[in-house]
Chains A and B, each alone.
Chain A
Amino acid sequence: MLTAKVERKENKFQGALDYLVEYRGVKEAAILDRDGLLIGYRGDGFAQAEAFAPLSLLMLHNIDAVLERLGENKAGSVVVKTADSWLTIQAAANLILVVRAKAEADDLLRVRIGRAAEMIKSHVQEKYPLQVD
């Protein structure tokens, strides 16, 4: 009984990741904590994900340093586009959602990323109400 309940809760993170990778052009999606550790992942290159988790966090920290000097709060999201990829690093409560898609993915992906972030946020809020930023 307890096991089933725990599994269902954990699957909410997985549900958010599944929701993302089913979108056309999305290659992989991951949830990280603020130390760069991988909490959840969907895609076909787990080893690569373990590398991009801390690097994504590093990018976010560098951007946040610029924003701080501008008198801004931390970045809500950072989108990096290259010739063939589109990497989004999105804050989701006290976690970070990272999505990598093909450059050809359409802009509606941004909406889906926003929704996935909300799913993660609501799950964290429900499970760890005192830890949500």
Chain B
Amino acid sequence: MKIDFDEINERIAKCQKILEADPNSQIFAALADAYRKKGELEKALQIGLKGIEDHPDYGSAYMVVAKTYLDLGNYGEAERYLNKAVEVGGRTRSADLLEAEILIRREQYGRARTLLEKLHNSDPKSETIKSLLKKTTIQPEEVPEPPKPVRSAAVSAEPSSKKPYDLSHTLGIIKILPRVLGVVAVTREGMVVEGQFDGLLPRDELGALASGAFNSVEQAIAKLDFGAGQEILVEADQSKLWMFNRGRIIIVISTRDDVNLGSLKLKLNEIFSHAEF
């Protein structure tokens, strides 16, 4: 995979600026993740672990630390922090995916495959899942693994094509789509119901701002007799923000600016067609 270091450096600079302005910001997780992607693993770990001390309930931070330990080859610690992320933030598809990666690195291909097959069933187009699945099938010396006691989000989601997706499952699937940076569900009043947003704002603030913007757009188009707003797409220099009206809640999705909108739209239509919340 090609790494865009300019983009990462820009992200690091932006995160640092925000952290300087507000040392208590949860942006540290995004900063740690950017250093991880750049390959500066020790620095990523240092920022992530320090941030967790100040924000012990921030699930995304544990995920970043788990990924960093995985990159360092310390699978035990990776698993430990993954479990903490699940304890704090609940089971998500991102957590399932990371667990599958850890299992593959530990050569526990059977368990990894079981997990990935469930993920693949609910999102057959995901290239990440396909690529990981491939890694589990080309291993010649495979030892069957005992069943795992903990039920994962993916395992509990079957059969995904028939059972409606609840909010948590829907957001989990959207979060792992290519170039999606974050997704949250907010009420009309601006309260964040669920979701992860590893962006530049605390998610509560994002929720308030996004619902405010959505409501003001709705009021404006109502005055023009355009009918109720269904979706709003905002294109900026470095990112895109897509907001969907789902009745009492608004789904807010942040993506990179180079996202393939057509492809994302198709996937979102499919996901929403299964959603019921």
A binding-site residues for B, Cβ under 8 Å: 48, 51-52, 55-56, 58-59, 62-63, 65-67, 69-85, 87, 100, 107
Contacts and interface: CB of A to CB of B under 8 A. Distances in A.
Contacts of B216: 58-59, 62
Contacts of A56: 220
A63 B229 CA distance: 15
Interface residues of B, number: 35
Given A51-B224, A82-B227, A66 B213 contact: yes
Contacts of A77: 233-235
A80 B232 contact: yes
Contacts, number: 105
B224 A63 contact: no
A67 B234 contact: yes
B234 A63 contact: yes
B12 to A, nearest CB: 12
Given A59-B216, A82-B221, A82-B227, A72 B238 contact: yes
Interface string B189-216: 0000000000111000110011011001
B224 A71 contact: no
Given A62-B213, A62-B216, A66-B210, A82 B230 contact: yes
A67 B226 CA distance: 25
Interface of B: 14, 17-18, 199-201, 205-206, 209-210, 212-213, 216-217, 220-221, 223-224, 226-239, 241, 254, 262
A41 B221 CA distance: 19
> Which of B200, B209, B210, B212 has the most chain A CB within a 10 Å cutoff?
B209
Given A59-B216, A70-B199, A76 B227 contact: no
A51 B237 contact: no
A76 B236 contact: yes
Contact of B235 (A75, A82, A83): A75
A71 B229 contact: no
A79 B224 contact: no
A100 B238 CA distance: 26
